[in-house]
A and B are shown apart, each in its own frame.
Chain A
Amino acid sequence: MVGYNLYRLLKEELKNGSNDLVTRQTGQIIRDRIERDIAKESDRMVIAIDFSEIGVIDYSCSDEIIAKLMSRLLSGEYGDKYIVLTALNENQKENIEVALERKDLAVIAEMRENGKILVGRLNNYLVETLDLIFQKGSITASELSDALKLPANTSGTRLLNLHKKRLAKRVSERRSDGTVWVYSSLTDMFVSEDSELGVMSSG
C-alpha cells in the first residue's frame, strides 16, 4: 500500500496555501497529478489517498477527483491497481458519497473516527460478500458458498464482481486441490481482527 497525502499534492500543485479541495478546476489539477503518480506504481498496488490534512472537499472536487479516479480505475485505465481513501471526516465522506452514488460507484474508506466503511453505492449482496472478506481477510468462492450457503457459481460471480469494482484483490493460489482464486481485503493495513465493514450502501 502506498499513501498519497492530498495536502502535500495540493501544496505542490496549487501553491496558494489552501488545504481545501474546492472547485472543479482544483479537482482537475489534483486528479491529473494523482494519475501521473499512479502510472508509476506497480501492478496490484493499493493507493491510499490520505485526507488527514484536508479541510473541506466540495461536490465538484469530489466528482473531479474521487468519482473520476474510480470510474477510470474500473475501466482499466490505470492497470491492475486499487484505490482506498483514508482519514476521512464525516463531511468529506458525505460529499464524496454524493459524487460516487451519481455514477454508481463505491470506494472503501477509513474514517478518522469509526473505522472503515464503504462509501458510495453497492448492491446489498455484494456488501454482504465484502463484509465477509473484511472479517476473514481473504476468501475463495468455495469458502463463500459454505459461509453463506450459496451455489458455487453465485459465489464466484459475487467475488468476481467485487474484484471488477476494485473493492477486493484477486490472486491465484496453488492448493492441494488445484489452483483457486483468492479474494482479499484491500485494507489489511487498517483492518482489525474482529472488524466489520460499516456499510453505507444502497441496493
Chain B
Amino acid sequence: MDKPQNNRAWFLVLPVLAIVAFSAVIPLMTVVNYSVQDTFGNNQFFWNGTGWFRELLDPTTDLGGRVRDSLWRNLLFSAIILTIQVPLGIAVALAMPREGWKVAATLVVMAMPLLVPWNVVGTIWQVFARGDIGLLGYTVNRLGIDYNYVADPLAAWVTIIVMDVWHWTSLVALLCYAGLKSIPDAYYQAARIDGASRWAVFRFIQLPKMRRVLIIAVLLRFMDSFMIYTEPFVVTGGGPGNSTTFLSIELVKLALGQFDLGKAAAMSIVYNLIILAVCWVFYTVMTNLDVERRRPPADA
C-alpha cells in the first residue's frame, strides 16, 4: 500500500468531536461528577467517593432493595415484550401484502402508532382501560372478568404490556417486512421447485434473510422497553403499590422527587452500564451465531 499519509485529515473529524462532546460527553461527565459527591443545596458539594454506588448495589439498604426490585421488573418487562413482539412482528410482516395499493395503505396504518407521542399513548390507554368510562375496561368488566388496573398488579402489568405491544409491534413488523422484501423471487421459485413446505420456506429462506434486521429489532426493542418511563408513569404512576415501578420511574423519584442528586447520578450510571452490557451480549450472541459459517473465504 503506497497511499499517501495525510494526518491533516483528522481535522475533518473535529466538528463531529465537538458536537459529540457537547451533546454526550460533557453532560455525562457532570453526572459522573455528581455521582461521587453529596450536596445539601446552595451549590455546596462534599466528596463521597464510591459511597452511593456501594449503597445502590447493596440490596440490604433501602435504596439497594428498591433498585434490585425495579431492576427485576425491568428485566421481566423486557423479556415479556421481546417474547411477544418479535414473533408477532414477524407474523405480521409475513401477512403484509407484497404488491399493489394495499402495500402503501398497510404501511401507513402500521406506522400510525409509531407516530403517537409516548405520553399521548399513555393517556389513550389510561382512559381506554378505565372500568367506568373506558371502552376496553368497561367491556372486559361486562364480560364478567374482574379487571381494574388501578388496584390489581396483574391487571396493571397486562395493561402496560398490551399498550406497549400496540405501540411498538409495528416497528418490528416494518423492519422484518424490509428484510422480506429484499429476498429475490428466485428463492421462492427455487423453493417451489424443491418442493419445500411453507414452514421450510420460512425456516430456511425467510428467517435467515431477516436475521440482520431482527438483530436491529431486538436491540431497539430491548433498549426502548428497558428504558420505558412515560407510558407506565402516565397509566399507573408506578402502582398499584410499587408493582409497575421501573428503574426509570425510581430514578426520577430519586432525582426530582427527593432531589438526591448524588444517588440519582450513581443510579443513572449503573442503569446505563446495564443497558450497554445487555445490548453487547445480545449483539455478540446474535452475530456470532454464524461465525462458523463465515470462517471460509467470503464470496467472490
Interaction A to B: no
Show the binding face of B for A, using Cβ within 8 Å. Answer: none
Q: Name A residues whose Cβ lies closer than 8 Å to a Cβ of B.
A: none
